[in-house]
Structure 1
């Protein structure tokens, strides 16, 4: 069953917290991964792998560079669920 965007955001915030130590409240839709949240490419790949497992979706490598903001990731995951 597809999860709501709010559920995806909360799950993504948990994953980012585990990987970077950032507070879940800091993970908001309008934040960029690199500038606002200071997530490097290695951490981003770990976050992507964990998100794929958590949400049961596939995020192709060529898509990852298009995920600039938390909203981009939430929208992609939401759309990729069946």
Structure 2
């Protein structure tokens, strides 16, 4: 899970121009990190590419915090190896 958090830190800090230290599990994507709709789409696309997964809009609309994203990616990674 730490690897997923580190990758999210890399992606979000690069895309949003923020300090990686701000990307913590409890950070709210919009309120704390300032993600807008375009950022959101780009981040989802990047995650799909990096992890070779598909993230349907019906799933991604439930992402509120960094932890939500981490758990989702972790679950997808587990299913790929099962």
Give TM-score scaled by structure 1 length.
Answer: 0.90
User: Which structure shows the bigger proportion of residues in helix conformation?
Assistant: 2
Per the alignment, residue 51 of structure 1 pairs with 47
Measure how far apart 1:29 and its partner are.
0.2
Cα distance in 2 between the residues matched to 1:8 and 1:57:
14
Gaps of 5+ in 2: none
Cα distance in 2 between the residues matched to 1:57 and 1:10:
18
Per the alignment, residue 77 of structure 1 pairs with 73
> Which runs of structure 2 are paired with 1:1-82 in the superposition (5 Å)?
5-81=1-77, 82=80
Gaps of 5+ in 1: none
Considering only CA atoms, is the larger Rg found in Structure 1 or Structure 2?
2
Give TM-score scaled by structure 2 length.
Answer: 0.90
Measure how far apart 1:62 and its partner are.
1.2
Count the aligned residue pairs.
Answer: 78
Stretches (4+) displaced over 4 A: none
Cα distance in 2 between the residues matched to 1:48 and 1:41:
11
Cα distance in 2 between the residues matched to 1:10 and 1:22:
14
